[in-house]
A = this chain, B = another copy of it.
Amino acid sequence: MQENREKEDRMVYREKEYKCGIDATLAVVGGKWKASILWHLSQRTMRFSDLQRQFSGTTRKMLTQQLRELETDGLVHREVYPQVPPKVEYSLTAKGTTIIPILDQMCAWAKEYLQ
């Protein structure tokens, strides 16, 4: 634990500089729907319409946008099936699965400490 904090340990990711990796991680999962999307995809591959159903409070546009960013960051895989009407499936990449334990911890922390 202590070894993470010896120095400032700033980092750069996608052209932006972050003070310590925490901010970089938050940049990746901090979008309004990203954490939930990752969490749902950790349970099963879903197609776009499945996600729309899960996130009935949002719009196609937001979902697409968040998914594209997650894809860009390499956490989510997007598989397009060449059919009409379209079929697109989203799933976690190996890298995407590595962040799930952290999300689980955040979930547990909220349950224990936020009321």
A residues adjacent to B (C-beta < 8 A): 1, 4-5, 9, 11, 13, 18-26, 28-30, 35-36, 39, 43, 73, 95, 98-99, 101-115
Contacts and interface: CB of A to CB of B under 8 A. Distances in A.
Contacts of A13: 110, 114-115
A26 B35 contact: yes
Number of copies: 2
A110 B22 contact: yes
10 contacts: A9-B107, A11-B111, A18-B110, A21-B106, A21-B107, A26-B29, A30-B30, A99-B113, A102-B105, A105-B105
A44 to B, nearest CB: 11
Residue among A18, A35, A73, A106 facing the most chain B CB atoms (10 A cut-off):
A106
Given A20-B39, A22-B35, A26-B30, A11 B113 contact: no
